[in-house]
Structure 1
Amino acid sequence: MEVILQVLRQQPQQAPRMQRYTLEVQPGTTILECLNRVKWEQDGSLAYRKNCRNTICGSCAMGINGRSALACKENVGSEIQRLEAGGVLQTEDDRPIFTVTPMGNMPVIKDLVVDMKGFWQDLKAVDPYVSTASRQIPEREFLQTPDQRAKLNQMGNCILCGACYAECNAKEVNPAFPGPHALAKAYRTWVDSRDDRTEERLEQYNQGTAGVWGCTRCYACNAVCPMDVDPYDQIGKLKQQILHRKGDQDSRSIRHRKAMVDLVKEGGWVDERKFGVRVVSNTFRDLPGLFSLGPLGLRMLVRGKFPFTFEASEGTAEVRSLIEAVQALPHEDK
């Protein structure tokens, strides 16, 4: 079959431009093979990263038809099926059009090659290494049980391709957020039975929007991860460990989470009249926070969007019992 590969190309100090290439391919031809053929047969100036060609190294991560993926993993046939299922397959003269772009949240060096310096700095910032101090124990090995080792398997599958980082909405608006890749590695280090910095690490990850609370819970990282690491799930586990140790007076981020659960227990869903008061004003303990709600409250009143009453959900009792059952479960630790 004949396909059109359109690549977003960019040179230093120049505006990006879309360039098209026509290729004769088979359904099983990978996107990386398409790029290789363009480079070898049509345009040797095309720049992109690649290495293993076997979904191991993570080098060939890039934007493929609107989401970050590994070019060596995705093929022409599967992409056509995915785009058709979503109703977004573009064609020209019955030829499918595939769009390839550089990854997001990272500066472009050339064409599909991005500068990953920030990616590696964010990873380093969470100190994702088992503490060397914990290994300074004489006359014995550092053994782990099969169960202890199994806790590391999912996060250990991360190949640091950058796909989750490129799709992260929190990183896009908040440069201080370390990114899902870093926090997934952070949880892998925290849960390691050989590490002795348990509480210190949780304090580090509890630094407001510069830590786990900066996550916007969009699930984009889970959706694009080619290795099923599910970074958002690991961020959630870190949050649970922090919430287990902290009270609602420790920070607004923690109060936000606890207030939401308490309000859902009370009424089946969140009573928005109480939510801002409990979280932002800390139930009238934080007067500046309370006054900061004034402009928003006035705008809501003017536009008729301020709820004067609250009607509890019909299933409040069932919701409350479910939450309480979950809260009564034994707390999972290392």
Structure 2
Amino acid sequence: MEVIFKIIRQPENSSPVVQTYVVAAESSNTILDCLNRIKWEQDGTLAFRKNCRNTICGSCAMRINGRSALACKENVGSELARLQNIPSPEGKVNTIPEITVAPLGNMPVIKDLVVDMSSFWNNLEAIAPYVSTAARQIPEREFLQTPQERSRLDQTGNCIMCGACYSECNAREVDPSFVGPHALAKAYRMVADSRDSDTENRLESYNEGTKGVWGCTRCLYCDSVCPMDVAPLEQITKIKQEILAHKQANDSRSIRHRKVLIDLVKEGGWIDERQFGLQVVGNYFKDLKGLIALAPLGLRMLCRGKFPLSFESSQGTSQMRSLIESVEKEKGLGIRD
């Protein structure tokens, strides 16, 4: 069958343009197979990365029909089947199927489908993705782990650093200081590693501002596009749980936000927003600047009749409290994110 490939091409520091190619493809052909045929048979100037062709190296990550994926993993048949459930903007059915290919997001384009991944690697380095040097100085024996200890590293160890999660990250798009889901997934691998002796310092670093775990918007895009099921958001949540277990509510606003939210839901079934603002932003009336910052919002709410003078607990509050306490007890944690 014939398939139209619309490829977003872009020389460095230039505006992108769409170039169209028609490829005779089989359903089983991968997107990378088709790109190779375009380069070999139609246009040798097309630039893209590739290497193993077996979903191992992560080199061929790109955006395929609007989502980041590996070109060697996605095939024409499955991609066209997925597109059938997405109506075209014009509401028309194309007689010849189309596949759009674009470079990864959140990274500058070098040429065509090749992006500059410097920020990706620099942010990975920022979380110190290696077992601490203190642990490596033990000379007596090799670093032994039980099967249970090693199993905690399996999921994050599957990461091939393809950049798909980084490309789709909403937080990274609006906050350049956020290190990204790939780095934080690797960060949890360090926290979970029984051979590492720097856990406390790591948690302090990952807890800092919005560049660490608190910068995540929990949009789930990273989990949805990861080709290796690393589930970066799940790993970020695990780091948050470790931080919350080590910290008090007055240590930072991010920590208060999580702890106060759970406490208020346990108390009333839903959030008493009056108390939420005072306890989180105002730090239980201890943060004068925070309280002053709340004043304009409070006045606007009063003027518009949107400031509740009382709070009524929701129905089923006791059941909700029991459920939360059961989860906390089961997980051995004082709180869950």
Q: Given the two structures, how large is their TM-score scaled by the length of structure 1?
A: 0.95
Moved more, 124-133 or 92-101: 92-101
Q: Give deviations 1:38-69, integer Å, cap 9, x for gaps.
A: 11111111111011111100000011111111
- d(CA) in 1 for partners of 2:191 and 2:332? 16
Q: Which moved more, 1:144-153 or 1:84-93?
A: 84-93
User: Which residue does the alignment assign to 2:208?
Assistant: 207
Cα distance in 2 for partners of 1:6, 1:258 equals: 48
Query: Structure 2 counterpart of 1:325, which letter?
Result: S
Structure 1 partner of 2:241: 240
| Distance in 2 (alpha carbons) for counterparts of 1:113 and 1:211 | 27
Alpha-carbon distance change, 88 to 197 in structure 1, aligned in 2, over 3 angstroms: farther
AA at the equivalent of 1:63: R
**DSSP 3-state at the match of 2:244:** helix
1:75 matched residue in structure 2: 75
Contact 1:91-1:97 within 8 A present in 2 as well: no
Distance 1:88 1:319, change over 3 A: farther
Deviation at 1:309, TM superposition (A): 4.2
Amino acid in structure 2 at the alignment position of 1:61: A
TM-score, normalisation: structure 2 = 0.94
For 1:66, the equivalent position in structure 2 comes to: 66
Deviation at 1:319, TM superposition (A): 1.0
Alpha-carbon deviations, 1:54-106, whole Å to 9, x = none?
Answer: 11000000111111110111111111222223445987641122111111110
Cα 1:255/1:38, change in 2 over 3 Å: same
Q: Shift in Å at residue 144 of structure 1?
A: 0.8
The amino acid that maps onto 1:108 is V
Aligned to 1:190, the other structure's residue is in SS state helix
Q: What's 1:316 paired with?
A: 317
SS in 2 for 1:122: helix
- Residue range with higher mean Cα deviation, 197-206 or 250-259: 197-206
Q: Is 1:140 aligned with 2:147?
A: no
- The equivalent of 1:104 in structure 2 is 105
- Residue matched to 1:27: 27
How far did 1:259 drift?
0.8
Provide the C-alpha distance between the structure 2 equivalents of 1:117 and 1:167, rounded to a whole number of angstroms.
Answer: 17
Distance 1:63 1:285, change over 3 A: same
Q: 2:223 corresponds to which residue?
A: 222
Q: 3-state SS of the aligned residue for 2:84?
A: helix
1:275-311 deviations in whole A, cap 9, x for unaligned?
A: 1111111122112111212233334445554444434
State the partner residue of 2:170.
169
| Structure 2 match to 1:39 | 39
Per the TM alignment, residue 15 of structure 1 is displaced from its structure 2 partner at its CA by 0.9
Partner secondary structure for residue 99 of structure 1:
strand
Please tell me the residue identity of whatever aligns with 1:55.
T
> Which amino acid letter does the alignment assign opposite residue 229 of structure 2?
D
Contact 1:6 1:21 in 2 (8 A): yes
| 1:94–1:304 CA distance, 2 compared to 1 (3 A) | farther
Distance 1:88 1:281, change over 3 A: farther
| Percent identical | 65
Aligned residues: 332
Q: Which residue in 1 is equivalent to 2:8?
A: 8
Amino acid at match of 2:197: D
One-letter amino acid of the counterpart of residue 245, structure 2: H
- The 1:304–1:87 alpha-carbon spacing in structure 2 relative to 1, beyond 3 Å, is farther
Assess if the C-alpha contact under 8 Å between 1:7 and 1:99 holds in 2.
yes
**Farther off after superposition, 274-283 or 302-311:** 302-311
Deviates more, 1:93-102 or 1:229-238: 93-102
Code of the aligned partner of 1:238: I
Give 1:255's aligned residue.
256
Q: How far does the alpha carbon of each residue in 1:114-168 deviate from its partner, in whole angstroms, 9 at most, with x for none?
A: 0000000000000010113212223322111111111100000000000001111
Amino acid at match of 1:201: R
CA contact (8 A) 1:134 1:196 kept: yes
Name stretches of at least 5 consecutive residues in structure 1 with no aligned partner. none
Q: How does 1:117-128 map to 2 (within 5 A)?
A: 117-128=118-129
SS of the residue aligned with 2:249? Answer: coil
> In the alignment, is residue 183 of structure 1 matched against residue 202 of structure 2?
no
